[in-house]
Amino acid sequence: MSALLCGTRKHSSERGHDGDVDSNLSQHSSIRGVHKGIEDRHFAKYCPISETGSANSIYSMAFMPSGNGWAPREIGGGGSISQKHMEMGVTVGDVGILEDGRFSYLFNIFYPKNDSIQPAEMPRNFNPIEPPLSEWEMSTSTAALLPGTIIAGEGVQVEQISESPRRISFTSYARAGGVMILPTGASREDLVDPQKLYPYLKEHAVDWYQFLNLYSGSENFLRMPAGMNGTLLVVTGSDRVKSCATAVFPVNPRDVGLVHSFQYDESHGDYCWSAERMTARTFAGFDFSTPCSVFIRGISIALGEPLWKRNLPLVPPKEVPIYEVYAKPLFEPQDSYGRILEWAKGLDRLPSPSRPTIMFHPSMILLQLMIDTAPSVDVAFVDDCIWRPLVGSHHLTHPRLVEFMKRVLEQYDLSVVEGVATLVKRPEEQNAPDIRPALSLGSVLRTVSFVRKSAEPEPFRTRAPRTLSKILHRPFFR
């Protein structure tokens, strides 16, 4: 069977009208071998774990309920950053991935290939989007988050000791959480109409995923961890700060039975955090020379199954990355019965597999549900505005994540137009699928059975809840 090499893949203008590649290639061929049906895994895998996880993961999960977007713990960003990009910070039009607690920058779609903001190596066939971005297409605010704003995770008690200088005490009985203080507030920028990008993103998505995974000048390589389907993010908005102080706990994932208590005192500058026993990882920075993004919003991209299989590498099963979510409720049981129940459910016996790990983002699950329902689409897009209002007020542990995903599925349906899959708001008068039964690690969501003709694809509203149960229940890891 012929393999399609990265350096010889046909330009989009040489493909069929639907953007597919040569028909003489098997649907299961790839540039690195043959995809083997059920063993083909182009999405990262969900993995519930017994321990609280990394500080980077706890941090982003703790602040997701704020509704402001995804929170990078490493607010300075990373990746192939040019001097110009370092000075500008994460900005609208940046394309990258989320890794190691940061947004890792690849390139920007609004600047020419030879602009100094771009890295030395660029995706093949790259051209900036036309026409260029106009000022009226951006919404900006210099005080989106006011000076002195405190964003505290679920279960964190905040007590202001004094106002000038500002002294604040934080206490929490939660197993994990975080605190963010913005002494000078935050500015905000957002693209007014992100959907205008969709045709451009559709045209270039394959090239970008190949660039992420394989192509660097004349050298082909498979990055580690692999750049899985659904991980590419185009920034459409961010909240920027010139100063910031953060804390995330616990320091040790096994220290979940402690009372976490620490204090903030702005008069001490970079040494503003203190505690009798510091159980949190802290950071403080004031008067940043360049803007730093504390929240990032964007469009996540996934390729349809045929395009991925024909253009991207076969990832060996043991190298498929995972994204970890804390399996237990956020708070310790208050009695022996609760502790016995956790033990009986096996929640203390869920070790993290020895696999590459990537950062969690809600859109990865939604994109997987969309591609599962309509695998032959060219691309699928999820704008963060879909899920941000529905997170709720809870830290996203496994039980809360299940509830969160159910809320999204109750309110949104799948739309496919010209090979592009998106989520659209379901009319209020339309009955939502009954997906109320809770999903535990050992159970499966049940949906009402339906009758359909064999030639008709199963609707998203009935298929997605069942697929969700398979995504969030991974017994083969155990």
Q: Give the model confidence (pLDDT) of 117-159 as tens digits.
A: 999 889 999 999 988 888 889 999 998 999 999 999 999 999 9
Note the pLDDT tens digit of each residue in 214-272: 754 444 456 677 889 999 999 999 999 999 999 999 988 777 678 999 999 999 988 99
Query: Which residues face 295 on adjacent strands?
Result: 239
Of the candidates 380, 17, 372, the one whose C-alpha atom is nearest the C-alpha of residue 198 is 380
Give the number of other Cβ atoms within 10 Å of residue 257's Cβ.
Answer: 9
Place of tokens 């005490």: 169
Predicted pLDDT at 106: 93
CB distance 73 to 248 below 8 Å: yes
Predicted pLDDT at 126: 95
Instruction: Kindly state whether residue 268 falls inside one of the protein's structural domains.
Output: no
Q: Which residues contact 48 (CB under 8 A, 6 or more apart)?
A: 324, 325, 326, 327, 350, 398, 441, 472, 474
Task: Give the count of domains, the chain.
Answer: 1
Note the pLDDT tens digit of each residue in 92-111: 999 999 998 999 999 999 99
Instruction: Kindly state whether residue 254 falls inside one of the protein's structural domains.
Output: no
CB distance 132 to 110 below 8 Å: yes
Which comes out higher in pLDDT, residue 436 or 255?
A: 255
Q: What are phi and psi of 21, to 5 degrees?
A: -95, -175
Amino acid at 81: I
Instruction: Kindly state whether residue 251 falls inside one of the protein's structural domains.
Output: no
Instruction: Kindly state whether residue 358 falls inside one of the protein's structural domains.
Output: yes
At residue 78, does pLDDT exceed 80? no
Percent residues over pLDDT 70 in the chain: 81
Instruction: Kindly state whether residue 166 falls inside one of the protein's structural domains.
Output: no
Instruction: Kindly state whether residue 266 falls inside one of the protein's structural domains.
Output: no
Owning domain of residue 21: 6-147+183-243+287-477
Under the banding of pLDDT at 50, 70 and 90, the label for residue 4 is very low
Under the banding of pLDDT at 50, 70 and 90, the label for residue 446 is very low
- Long-range contacts at 403-410 (CB < 8 A, ≥ 24 apart): 403/438, 404/362, 405/362, 405/365, 405/366, 405/468, 405/472, 406/435, 406/436, 406/465, 406/468, 408/362, 408/366, 409/369, 409/433, 409/435, 409/461, 409/464, 409/465, 409/468, 410/435
Predicted pLDDT at 144: 92
Give the number of other Cβ atoms within 10 Å of residue 332's Cβ.
Answer: 15
Of the candidates 363, 132, 96, the one whose C-alpha atom is nearest the C-alpha of residue 208 is 96
Q: Which residues contact 127 (CB under 8 A, 6 or more apart)?
A: 113
Predicted pLDDT at 215: 54
Place of tokens 């953007």: 19
Place of tokens 């910070």: 89
Instruction: Kindly state whether residue 423 falls inside one of the protein's structural domains.
Output: yes
List, in sequence order, every beta strand (DSSP E) within 206-317. Answer: 215-216, 219-220, 232-241, 244-249, 260-265, 273-274, 281-285, 292-303
Note the pLDDT tens digit of each residue in 28-60: 444 444 444 434 578 999 998 888 889 999 999
Give the number of other Cβ atoms within 10 Å of residue 123's Cβ.
Answer: 18
Task: Indicate the SS3 state at residue 11.
Answer: coil
Under the banding of pLDDT at 50, 70 and 90, the label for residue 76 is confident
Predicted pLDDT at 225: 78
Instruction: Kindly state whether residue 269 falls inside one of the protein's structural domains.
Output: no
Mean pLDDT in the chain? 83
